[in-house]
Amino acid sequence: MERFRGGFPATIDAKGRVKLPARLREQLEVSFGREVYICSFFPHELRIYPLPVWQGVEERMLSKPTMKPAVRKLIERVNYGQLQEMDDHGRLLVPVLLREMVEVEGEVVVSGRINHLAVTNRSRAASFLTDQLLSEDEQNELADLEL
């Protein structure tokens, strides 16, 4: 499976479109096609899933008991997303409601997150890199990955 890597500066234009960085755009189109599902799991970022990957996420969600509060909450949250298609210039329209909820306008960072792309406000991304240090417990937990 194709893996998305790296963080790239980008802009959400006045019409609400984000132009994907060339490398990520090529990976998306060649490996998965132009259709994506744009949603948000967390209040600080958008997620852009290639449609085939998103369909796998949906299957995993459907396999869980929907009466569990966390599953219900996640399904409700991602339901505010929308299916979109990348245009010939590599742009995706970010739904207004999601732009407002996640506060992504203007300068953003588009980053590869292995199986999806994330769009984050540029200043929020910068503060994450400088302020969100891993605790000793988190470092110990990650030691098993042998990074």
Q: Domain with 38 in it: what CATH number?
A: 3.40.1550.20
Q: How would you write the pLDDT of the chain (147 residues) with one tens digit per residue?
A: 789 999 999 999 999 999 999 999 999 999 999 999 999 998 889 999 999 999 999 999 889 998 899 988 888 888 899 999 999 999 999 999 999 888 888 999 999 999 999 999 988 887 777 777 788 888 888 887 776
Number of structural domains in the chain: 1
SS3 104: coil
Q: Does residue 133 form part of some domain? A: yes
CA distance 39 to 61: 14
DSSP string, 124-144: HHHHHHHH-PPPHHHHHHHHT
**Does 2 reside within a domain?**
no
C-alpha 77/C-alpha 43 separation (Å) is: 10
Q: Identify the domain containing residue 34 by its residue range.
A: 7-143
At position 101, the amino acid (one-letter code) is M
Name the 3-class secondary structure at 48: strand
Q: Can you give the pTM of this predicted structure?
A: 0.88
